[in-house]
Chains A and B, each alone.
Chain A
């Protein structure tokens, strides 16, 4: 998930972090980053990290190019064997989860989960 109002973008003095208008992905321009580490404090989810080259954060694999549908194609989503990860807008993911929930109820699996209290 990338924040709707990312604090890291707000606090970065060099504007090295920005939120793309077309898809909301928060990206970093390492050429602008001065390495002040202020974004580490701003982010409540411990997302930014630093390596020898500077700031590192998830950019939905944008740096590796777009998928066949012209949208970012995060490798974690593509490779997760249990399909536990999704990429898309909140509405798209809600639809997917609602469909999953409907199928599970239809197969009686959701009821089992409720009985065990998990």
Chain B
């Protein structure tokens, strides 16, 4: 006779999809962390590609308000994510004392807490360098003035991008490190979360560039090249995320009966609407289609690389106005869809994060060498 351990945890609430201790709030702060990281990484790449701090300091930067907007966004998203995390723990006052409460260097949660804390500081410094008034005030304090500003500023942009990459990856690693959860015990999970985060970064960056004052005074060819490159990045990330998702599903399907059951729940069971409607359609397909349409629009009309305001200004017919509006809102549609789909992905992954039921009696007799 064998006794089975119920997978329900005594004393803990039943949360989303009948899961265990973590509910929808961890899905939210995993999303916010990944989102902040993705924005920081992509915006760092765009800013460095457009001349870095030199262009932003001497006024030749073609990105307009983009650096200030994305710097604020990455910091705010990270702070909100951290606030949600603190609201989720039972003792937030203890959690705030980092050096006491996150002291176990072997724990990925402790490592992540310090990474997030450093991330807040780096993103805040990045914001100072991205906002002209704050940057000018800081420039007066630096020993070499403008030249010092350029060097330090480029280093800050680079570090914020690296920190963004680390944070985006960490959200998946935190789950991977829980060795007892079969559905999380695969390297495709951190890879999937990283690609999802980068995808959000690209889509939102594209939306900000399209709706903002970017490219004022920039040669059309340069704006066209940049926007095309961002659109291509969006397409490639979509393909990459699809590949990672397929690898995750196939890999876990073959990882034993229990994992196969959880995959079936994801593909055809209670989680199917979230997976297919959210993670696949909204998270990957819609942004992919939007980027493909934008790439076609860019190939047809180089001026499309300018902001929506300029595109509408150049429209000479009702058809062109409608087309400009449609193509102009596509980046926003892609951005919103990507974020919602990424949230759905994280919800699904959290929901399948359950333990395989363990036959304790068999375990005990096996460990004691009793047949």
Contacts and interface: CB of A to CB of B under 8 A. Distances in A.
B270 interface: no
A38 B21 CA distance: 9
Interface residues of B, number: 45
Interface string B70-95: 00000000000000000011111011
Contacts of A43: 180
B353 A41 contact: yes
B90 A40 contact: no
B72 to A, nearest CB: 29
A70 B141 CA distance: 67
Contacts, number: 109
A13 B95 CA distance: 10
Nearest to A44: B180
A80 interface: no
Instruction: Point out which of B22, B92, B109 has the most chain A C-beta atoms below 10 A from its C-beta.
Output: B109
Nearest to B11: A49
A33 B100 CA distance: 11
A40 B11 CA distance: 12
A56 B113 CA distance: 24
Contacts of B95: 34, 36
A35 interface: yes
Nearest to B357: A46
A10 B107 contact: yes
A66 interface: no
B91 A13 contact: no
B12 interface: yes
B22 to A, nearest CB: 6
B300 interface: no
A97 interface: yes
Contacts of B102: 13-14
A40 B12 contact: yes
Interface of A: 1, 7, 10-15, 32-38, 40-46, 49-51, 54, 56, 90, 93-94, 97, 118
Interface of B: 1, 5-12, 20-22, 88-92, 94-95, 100-104, 106-110, 113, 177-181, 353, 355-356, 358, 360, 364, 367-370
Leading 5 A-B pairs by shortest Cβ distance: A35-B90, A13-B110, A44-B180, A37-B21, A41-B178
17 contacts: A11-B178, A13-B102, A15-B103, A32-B100, A32-B101, A34-B94, A37-B22, A40-B20, A40-B21, A41-B20, A44-B180, A45-B5, A45-B360, A49-B10, A50-B21, A50-B90, A54-B90
